């Protein structure tokens, strides 16, 4: 079986010591905002776009940016994590994977207002670090750990 791979961008958005996750209907798991990177789109631009589409807010990305620049190259905001995620696994074989550029983002408020066609506002829940721990049986290990790291990083800025 051939494995297909797509580039995606994810943002763990944080406001007031909590991160927003929604119950993804198709994947049946709790996830932060994110989605596929469009052709010719930069990862940090896709990350911000996905947050705007899914929750109607503009994140301030916490993304280090190098200082290397030349006539033919420039540094762009860097994700906090890169993950290779198995999406479809059948009989032990991986059919589809996501190469995920994971960013942290700070929000000025938590007035979630999804665009048409996105998960409804009722699907979103704010999780503190203790809420994440309490829901650990319903969260993927990476969502639990990265959610806590994002909250800590944003709160310590």
* Residue 127 in this model has a pLDDT that exceeds 90: yes
Which CATH number characterizes residue 107's domain? Answer: 3.90.79.10
156 Cβ contact partners less than 8 Å away, ≥ 6 residues apart: none
pLDDT digits (tens, 9 = 90+) for 13-25: 999 999 999 998 7
* Tokens 């960013």 sit on residue: 103
How many independent structural domains does the chain possess? 1
**What pLDDT sits at residue 42?**
97
| CB-facing half-sphere around the CA of 28: CA atoms within 13 A | 0
Structure tokens at 103: 């960013």
Rounded mean pLDDT, 43-53: 98
Domain range enclosing 56: 4-155
**pLDDT digit string, tens, across residues 71-99:** 999 999 999 999 999 888 888 888 889 99
Judge residue 47's burial from the number of C-beta atoms within 10 Å of its C-beta, 0-12 exposed, 13-18 middle, 19 or more buried: buried
């Amino acid at each position: 079986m051939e494995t297909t791979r797509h580039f995606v961008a994810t943002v763990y958005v944080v406001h007031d010591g909590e991160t927003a996750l929604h119950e993804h209907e198709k994947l049946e798991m709790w996830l932060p905002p994110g989605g596929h990177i469009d052709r010719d789109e930069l990862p940090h631009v896709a990350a911000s776009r996905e947050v705007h589409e899914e929750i109607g807010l503009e994140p301030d990305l916490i993304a280090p940016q190098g200082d290397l620049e030349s006539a033919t190259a420039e540094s762009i905001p860097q994700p906090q994590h890169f993950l290779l995620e198995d999406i479809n696994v059948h009989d032990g074989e991986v059919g589809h994977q996501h190469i995920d550029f994971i960013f942290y983002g700070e929000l000025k408020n938590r007035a979630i207002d999804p665009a048409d066609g996105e998960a409804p506002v009722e699907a979103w829940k704010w999780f503190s670090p203790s809420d994440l721990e309490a829901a650990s049986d319903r969260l993927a290990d990476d969502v639990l750990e990265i959610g806590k790291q994002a909250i800590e990083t944003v709160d310590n800025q």
